[in-house]
Amino acid sequence: MAEMLIKNGFVFDPINRINGEKMDIAIKDGKIVGSVNERRAKKIDATGLTVMPGGVDIHTHIAGAEVNTGRLMRPEDHVKDVVRKTPLTRSGVGYSIPSTFVTGYRYSKMGYTTIMNPSMPPLEAKHTHEELNDTPMLDKASYPLLGDWWFVLEYLRKGDLTECARYVAWMMGTSKGYAIKIVNPGGLESWGFGRNVHSIDDEVPNFCITPREIMCGLAKVNKMLNLPHTIHLHTNNLGLPGNYATTLETMRALESVASGDKPVAHITHLQFSSFAGDGWGNMRSGAEEISKYINAHNHITFDMGQVIFTDTTTMTADGPFEYTLYELSGHKWVNTDIETETSGGIIPFHYKRNNAVNATQWSIALELALLIEDPWKMFLTTDHPNGGPFFAYPKIIAWLSSKKARMATLKKCHKKAQKKSLLPSITRELTLYDIAIVTRAGQAKALGLKEKGHLGVGADADIAIYNINPEKTDIARKYKTARRAFGNAAYTLKDGKVVVKDGEITQHVDGKTIWLDVQTAEQVKVDEEMKRRFKEYWTVEYDNYPVFDHYVKVPSPITVKADV
């Protein structure tokens, strides 16, 4: 395979502590190498350009039954963003829930190369993988929803962590998943009976277990199995005023699992879990309290869940929350129970600047991102499409790296939200180095993806080159330049191939699907008892349940040796 040399770029590679040094990057066989034959190698002249590892997105709903139902219920969302085919690319639609191909193309145009699809009900795993197969340009993985799975609840109640771990390991292979996703632990099972849990010590009906026990139990299981990522947690009471107290309590509860400086939990779309106040009327930001806690502790990482002022579609496994949203907005909605595993809900939502609550949400996410000092704990997401579509990331980069940019948006927001916002008092502006952490390096590190998010020897040659000259352009002042540059990568390389040039797709590649092959000393026995349970509790037979190897177009399993 061809050798390649990226010459003279300003390289930002935080994992290897390279901060804007002018250097060359050599590529051979889709991997980064120490050097190549300079005469033979194809050269990319990156003089005056910024070179970063390919973007990594830790949390973005891009495939699966939920996403597809969202597509089906929103024809009006697609009609305004129709994408025609070109000789290289396929047709599709964009806006809040783009079709799979457009998802791949648009991520690639922004210089992203790896994404994580964060909520996959194991029952819908086949559907999810079918869609992932059709999402080009990207490496991807999915997190199975395990926080309310009956097997997990049962073994945790019995206190049998080893057996629980074996089942989780089995499920990772069966659903071809990557990390343990927990959504509103206990709440989803309760929702099957029209109830919800309102604190981390409420009991789940029929299971005599509390959200605290589920989260801590699965965090321990995560450790026992040596999974590369931590548990991926969507907190209880999400999206309700005053929920920052629940979030604080959740983080405190997880302290018991922590040891050393290693994170044990990733709290996702933290913005939605950081509301203070006791009603929508006096809802305000809880970012100050939350950031104080996270600054003082090292066992938590989080992503923003930034809100974008646009018409979008919310979709989460948190059925009760989606129902609350329906009651607030009166919009068309979908809500479903996924048998023994989880629930789900979808509702379109329009975030508006002149709505005090929405504008406060916008402010909270930025406050969190800026008040939490260590960028390795914070990652940039919109919880696509819940806070807004992913192609708004360049806007968020501008807000984070330029006070001027965020003040310009804040000025247009609802007066009440402006008054309550902490943003005017925050002067911090993220540098290009910080941006490289929050959009790729930190995310890859948190995910335990050793070959992603950096440009050291041996890493995958997933590289993004942006049209920013850090010597000439100050992104804090020229935020519009930064926004344009991050929206249209000068080059995106996937496995050493140039797939985007000047914001246009130049080549179609299929990305890999990553999953975990967790090897436990003793495996779960798929015996008659288990098959009987499938017959009794599921709508599918056991034989039709697992995602078989041939289901995945470009498989890339990671073997993990467990302690049990």
Partner 1 sequence: MITLSPLKKFQYPVMAECINPDVFKGKTTAEIAALSVWEGNKQKTLGDLFAIEETAAENPSIVINGDASKVRRVGMGMKNGEIVVNGNIGMHVGEKMAGGKITVNGDAGGWAGSDMKKGLIEIHGNAGDYLASPYRGSSTGMRGGTIIVHGNVGSDSAVFMRGGVIKIRGNAGPFLGFRMGDGTVYVQKECGTRVGACMTGGKIIIAGALQEVMPTFTIDSIKPKVKVDETETAAGPFYVFLGDLAESGSGKIFVSKAVNPHLSMYEKYL
CA angle 237, 239, 245 (to 5 degrees): 50
Q: How far apart are CA 499 and CA 108, in angstroms?
A: 8
Q: Which is nearer to partner 1, 91 or 282 (CB)?
A: 91
Q: Which stretch binds partner 1 (CB under 8 A): 75-83, 363-371, 405-413, 431-439?
A: 75-83
Q: How far apart are CA 474 and CA 543, in angstroms?
A: 58
Select from 193, 285, 198, 172 the least CA-distant residue to 519: 172
Q: What is the DSSP string of 265-296?
A: EEE-SGGGG-EESSSSTT-EE-HHHHHHHHHH
Question: Is there binding between residue 73 and partner 1 (CB under 8 A)?
Answer: yes
Per-residue binding string, partner 1, 14-53, x by CB under 8 A, is ----------------------------------------
Q: Which stretch binds partner 1 (CB under 8 A): 69-77, 185-193, 240-248, 317-325?
A: 69-77
Q: How far apart are CA 112 and CA 200, in angstroms?
A: 36
Q: Which is nearer to partner 1, 74 or 220 (CB)?
A: 74
Question: Is there binding between residue 408 and partner 1 (CB under 8 A)?
Answer: no
Question: Is there binding between residue 2 and partner 1 (CB under 8 A)?
Answer: no
Q: Which is nearer to partner 1, 71 or 454 (CB)?
A: 71
Please, what is the minimum distance in Å from the beta carbon of residue 417 to partner 1?
A: 24
Q: Which stretch binds partner 1 (CB under 8 A): 47-55, 67-75, 362-370, 445-453?
A: 67-75
Please, what is the minimum distance in Å from the beta carbon of residue 332 to partner 1?
A: 8
Q: How far apart are CA 31 and CA 462, in angstroms?
A: 8
Q: Which is nearer to partner 1, 21 or 76 (CB)?
A: 76
Select from 537, 518, 447, 449 the least CA-distant residue to 174: 518
Q: Which is nearer to partner 1, 79 or 88 (CB)?
A: 79
Q: Which is nearer to partner 1, 332 or 531 (CB)?
A: 332
Q: Which stretch binds partner 1 (CB under 8 A): 6-14, 68-76, 114-122, 357-365?
A: 68-76
Q: What is the DSSP string of 113-143?
A: EEEEEEEE-GGGHHHHHHHHHT-TT-EEEEE
Q: Which stretch binds partner 1 (CB under 8 A): 28-36, 70-78, 216-224, 513-521?
A: 70-78
Contact with partner 1 (CB under 8 A) among 17, 39, 40, 75: 75
Instruction: Tell me which amino acid residue 560 is.
Output: V
Q: How far apart are CA 103 and CA 238, in angstroms?
A: 27
CB 324 within 8 Å of CB 330: no
Q: How far apart are CA 292 and CA 516, in angstroms?
A: 35
Please, what is the minimum distance in Å from the beta carbon of residue 329 to partner 1?
A: 10
Per-residue binding string, partner 1, 256-275, x by CB under 8 A, is --------------------
What is the sign of the dihedral through the CA atoms of 121, 213, 196 and 347?
Answer: negative
Burial class of residue 544, CB neighbours in 10 A (0-12, 13-18, 19+) = exposed
300-339: contacts with partner 1 (CB under 8 A): 331-332
Instruction: Tell me which amino acid residue 292 is.
Output: K
Please, what is the minimum distance in Å from the beta carbon of residue 346 to partner 1?
A: 13
Give the number of other Cβ atoms within 10 Å of residue 278's Cβ.
Answer: 11
Cross-strand bridge partners of residue 56: 114
557's tokens: 């399993």
Question: Is there binding between residue 374 and partner 1 (CB under 8 A)?
Answer: no
Question: Is there binding between residue 77 and partner 1 (CB under 8 A)?
Answer: yes
CB 66 within 8 Å of CB 384: no
Question: Is there binding between residue 76 and partner 1 (CB under 8 A)?
Answer: yes
Q: Which is nearer to partner 1, 77 or 322 (CB)?
A: 77
Q: Which stretch binds partner 1 (CB under 8 A): 72-80, 160-168, 294-302, 392-400?
A: 72-80
Q: Which stretch binds partner 1 (CB under 8 A): 76-84, 277-285, 294-302, 361-369?
A: 76-84
Q: How many binding residues for partner 1 (CB under 8 A)? A: 8
Q: How far apart are CA 196 and CA 202, in angstroms?
A: 9
Please, what is the minimum distance in Å from the beta carbon of residue 4 to partner 1?
A: 37
> Contact residues for partner 1 (CB under 8 A)?
73-77, 79, 331-332
